[in-house]
Amino acid sequence: MKDFILNRVIFYSGLNYDSLKSKCCLKIYCRARQVLIYLLYEYTIMSLKQIGKLLNRDHSTIHHNKKVIINMKTILSYANDPQMVMLRTIEKETIQYRQNQEIKQDWETDSSLGININY
């Protein structure tokens, strides 16, 4: 899941992994990083410390950036913000990916039990 989210943020932001890890404070880097942090926290079992290690940041910085996105999600004026559009798009894709993985896992479990799922 971590790799899926990371690849989607890289794809939609047009940045690379090194850019996301960099200390650059340009808005495009910060917003993409914040989206990545929020998605990793919400859709993986990674801790703030683990996310921080991935991005060369302290856990308190990760916590702050996660809160920024949570606040932006509640403010209507940010609804059409490019980063919020990216967030919603990746969120939908992540949910779909997770559902597909669960279906695949269920199918593999059924197959390993010798259950014929072909009708």
Which CATH number goes with the domain that contains 34? 1.10.1750.10
Count of the separate structural domains present in the chain: 1
- Residues 19-51 pLDDT 10s: 999 988 898 899 999 999 999 999 999 999 999
The helix/strand/coil state of 46 is coil
* Residue 118 belongs to some domain of the structure: no
The answer to whether 20 touches 9, Cβ cutoff 8 Å, is yes
Longest CA–CA span in the chain (Å) reads 57
Residue 23 in domain: yes
> Is residue 45 in a domain?
yes
Torsion of CA 83, 55, 65, 73, to 10 degrees: 30
Q: Tell me, what's the pLDDT at 63?
A: 95
Whole-number Å distance between alpha carbons of 68 and 4: 22
Residue 67: inside a domain, yes or no? yes
Look up residue 114 and give its DSSP letter: T
**What is d(CA 87, CA 37) in angstroms, rounded to the nearest whole number?**
11
Residue 73: partners with Cβ closer than 8 Å, 6 or more residues away: 84, 87
Evaluate whether residue 119 is within a structural domain: no
Question: Given this model, what pLDDT does residue 24 score?
Answer: 87
Tell whether 117 is covered by a domain.
no
pTM score, whole prediction: 0.81
**Structural domain range at position 27:** 2-112
Q: What is the pLDDT of residue 65?
A: 92
Regions in the chain scoring below 70 on pLDDT: 107-119
